[in-house]
Amino acid sequence: MVIENKNKSVLKPFLRWAGGKTRLVDFILGVVPQDLEKVTYWEPFLGAGSLFFALQPYRAVLADLNHDLIACFKAVREHPDLIANYLRRHARLTSKDYYYEIRTKYNRANDSIAKSVMFIYLNKTCFNGIWRVNEKGEFNVPYGYKEPPTLPSSKDLKAASVALKCADLKVGDFRQILEEVGTNDFVYLDPPYPPLNQTAYFTHYTQERFGISDHEALAEMAIRLSKKGCRVLVSNADTKFIRSLYNSFRVVQRKVTRWIRSDGKRYKAREILILNY
């Protein structure tokens, strides 16, 4: 499907996401290929989709293992006005007690537009925008102590809906999703980063955990795609382990400010962009 989006102003994501690239979008755009009009954009670790919304590609395959995240994106694509109406009600009622009431309802709810609305409300109201679940798959992040939360407006959601019309949204593991990438397509890989200390929560976005073997498999996939003729861009933490996996790729370094730690304090860390073009 090809849908031309003539409004190329940079869009911001309607969600917050731990490890999201909102603050680094301009930097990343500086290394993105400029000839993407005739190829497909692939992003199997979608999160908030910061780069996707900034690029607004003509064709895209967006995926994540988080079923509720993808359901939310589909709901925004198809029903932006209805979601905006629901969110206005949450905004009127929001409080610490209300947050925990909605969190309980969310963990018991079946798939629906209302659950996707709760997903957005919890995401924008929880502590530091972290999306963390326990081993039962239950969202368990505490209240973020911001009243009222900054919820996406009707205008924000409509703009996101338009951008998402070009996208095929899927739930799945990157190994499965990337098997269908075409020659010369552009693939952006932004996996959960390896933790920089024992209290960092970078891998708890789903019941599954993203560990060393997953990073190794992802690097192997990036090498396979590179040999196939695809353009590959990877974001990751600047560690010896990560660099060792991509020693045949070009590396661009960037110092960033991390916001996620158990005590909520900021700390400096280095992040790298890894690319094969």
Domain end residue (candidates: 154, 179, 200)? 154
Domain with 92, as residue range(s), is 72-154
The pLDDT of residue 254 is: 79
pLDDT of residue 2: 33
CA-to-CA distance for 167 and 2, rounded, in angstroms? 9
Q: Residue 42 corresponds to which tokens in the numbers above?
A: 């692939």
Answer yes or no: do 215 and 228 share one domain.
yes
How high is the pLDDT of residue 207? 44
**DSSP string for 169-200:** EEE--HHHHGGGPPTT-EEEE-PPPPPSSTT-
| Residue 129 confidence (pLDDT) | 85
Q: Residue 243 belongs to a domain with what CATH number?
A: 3.40.50.150
Q: How many domains does the chain have?
A: 2
Q: Answer yes or no: do 57 and 183 share one domain.
A: yes
Looking at residue 223, its amino acid is I
Which pLDDT does position 267 carry in this prediction? 59
Rounded Cα–Cα distance for residues 62 and 123 (Å): 19
Residue 47 belongs to some domain of the structure: yes
Residue 16, in any domain of the structure: no
What single letter denotes the amino acid at residue 54? A
Q: Is residue 253 part of a domain?
A: yes
201 shares its domain with 228 = yes
Rounded-to-integer distance, Cα 188 and Cα 252, Å:
15
Report pLDDT digits (tens) over 42-63: 999 999 999 999 999 999 999 9
> Is 189 among the domain residues?
yes
Are both 172 and 247 inside the same structural domain? Answer: yes
**Rounded Cα distance, 171 and 26, in Å:** 28
**What pLDDT was estimated at residue 266?**
58
d(CA 205, CA 137): 9
Whether 17 is in a domain gets the answer: no
Last-in-domain residue among 137, 154, 171 = 154
166 φ, ψ (degrees, to nearest 5): -85, -5
Q: Choose the final residue of a domain: 154, 181, 201.
A: 154
Residue 3 inside a domain? The answer is no
Q: Do 62 and 84 reside in the same domain of the chain?
A: no
The span from the CA of 96 to the CA of 227, in Å, is 52
Whether 96 and 220 share a structural domain: no
pLDDT of residue 270: 82
In a domain, 2, yes or no: no
Same domain, 251 and 127: no
Q: Is 14 part of any domain?
A: no
CATH of the domain at 111: 1.10.1020.10
Same domain assignment for residues 94 and 138: yes
Cβ neighbours, 10 Å, residue 248: 11
Same domain, 59 and 171: yes
End-to-end distance of the chain based on CA atoms, in angstroms? Answer: 26
Residues of the chain whose pLDDT is less than 70? 1-8, 195-208, 255-269
Tell me, yes or no, whether 29 and 87 share the same domain.
no
Question: Are 241 and 115 contained in the same domain?
Answer: no
Q: Do 171 and 252 share a domain, yes or no?
A: yes
Q: How far apart are CA 30 and CA 12, in angstroms?
A: 17
